[in-house]
Amino acid sequence: MAIISSAYAAQEASQEINPAEGGAENAGAAGSLAHGGVQKGAFPPFDTSNFAPQLVWLVLIFGVLYLLMSRLALPRVATILSTRETTIGADLDAARESQAKAQAADAQNNATLRTKKEEAQTIGREAQQKIAAEVGALRSSAEKKFAEEIAAAEARIAAEKARAMTSVEGIATEAAAAIVAKLTGAQVDGAKLSAAYRDATTH
């Protein structure tokens, strides 16, 4: 808008230099407008006579925008970027530190688990050995007791057998003496019959 205003100001100045021509042109323009016509001419921004002021305003506006950007906008952007970079760096450092702590805790947990596992295995082996020793002692004691009981039973059986054999010997001797006496009518000595019976059983 400032460029267009300057172009119109330059055009009015040129009209003041040639009043007669300007008056005639204004009269012709008024007449044409009165009859519904349109004034013809170049669009001011495209008029070659307006290029110099347009360039001056362009340089001024560009300079002002450059100063505003370099003094206000760009420092704020640089501050925001720097703050963001610092925050991101701090977050990354915190994440690395947390990761390192997590890895250290994981390594410590693994070491603790290995230690506890080894302790449990040691306790299990010791308990197994203790149980095996106790079972062995109980088995040895039971076997010894059973052997003693078997020996005692065998001794009792042998004694009963001996008593039975003694009774059988006496009964056999008496029966033999009675049979001989009944058949022959002679009395037989029991001691001799016992000796003969023992000789017959031993042979």
pLDDT of 28 higher than 60:
no
Residues 6 or more apart in contact with residue 139 via CB below 8 angstroms = none
pLDDT band at 197 (very low <50, low <70, confident <90, very high): low
Q: Quick check: 9 pLDDT over 80?
A: no
Q: Which two tokens stand for residue 42?
A: 């170049």
- Indicate the residue type of 62: F
Residue 31 has pLDDT above 60, yes or no: no
The H-assigned helical ranges of the chain are 2-17, 19-34, 51-68, 74-184, 190-202
pLDDT at 177 over 90: no
* pLDDT more than 70, % of the chain: 69
Residue 100 CA neighbour count, 13 Å, CB half: 6
**Contact, 45 vs 54, CB < 8 A?**
yes
Cα 8 to Cα 86: distance, rounded to the nearest angstrom: 54
72-103 pLDDT per residue, tens: 888 889 999 999 999 999 999 999 999 999 99
Dist CA 39 CA 32 (whole Å): 7
